[in-house]
Amino acid sequence: MFVSIIKEISMGHRLYNSKLSNRQNYALYGKCSNPNGHGHNYVIELTVKGEVDARTGMVLSLDSIKSIFNREITEKFDHKFLNYDLKEFKNTVPTSENIAKLMWEKLENKFSPAELHRILIKESRSSYFEYFGG
Ligand code: NI
């Protein structure tokens, strides 16, 4: 059984690789490399996978999934400027791909006896990124 929650969080970032010139960064990331950064209202979907507990009729309660998400993701990421506020992005470009991988690391093994199955990140209405670990 797969159970998902959907949350919106706001984060700022600049897509910029310090090993490249400004011109190379612009060629790679376009306006997302603008020096003063920009923000998004990201929609995050979190999916856990597990067996339905015969006693409760649930995999995990939605409240417990939401509270783990709040503790591991919202409190650490919401209203942060990722390049400066999160040490993990000091030397890593905060693309949606890398955000998904970092969120996976924060959430992996937190849903026992269920397990983390998928992180989906929508940065805009026209695209999304999914990570299944590994
Ligand atoms: Ni952006």
Q: What percent of the chain is predicted at pLDDT more than 90?
A: 99
CB-CB contact of 11 with 86 (8 Å): no
Catalytic hit among 8, 75, 79, 130: 79
CA 63 / ligand 1 centre spacing (Å): 30
CB-CB contact of 116 with 104 (8 Å): yes
Q: At 21, is the pLDDT very low, low, confident or very high (cuts 50, 70, 90)? A: very high
Rounded mean pLDDT, 93-97 = 97
CA 17 / ligand 1 centre spacing (Å): 14
* Residue 99 in this model has a pLDDT that exceeds 90: yes
CA–CA distance, 97 with 95 (Å, rounded to integer)? 5
CA 12 / ligand 1 centre spacing (Å): 7
* Residue 19 in this model has a pLDDT that exceeds 90: yes
What residues contact residue 14 under an 8 Å CB cut-off, 6+ apart?
32, 33, 34, 35, 36, 37, 38, 83, 94
| Average confidence score pLDDT of the chain | 97
Catalytic, 79? Answer: yes
List Cα–Cα distances, 89 to 14, 21, 81, in angstroms. 10, 19, 10
Q: Read off the tokens for 51.
A: 């067996």
Give the pLDDT confidence score for residue 89 in this predicted structure. 97
CA–CA distance, 1 with 18 (Å, rounded to integer)? 43
CA 57 / ligand 1 centre spacing (Å): 40
Q: At 134, is the pLDDT very low, low, confident or very high (cuts 50, 70, 90)? A: confident
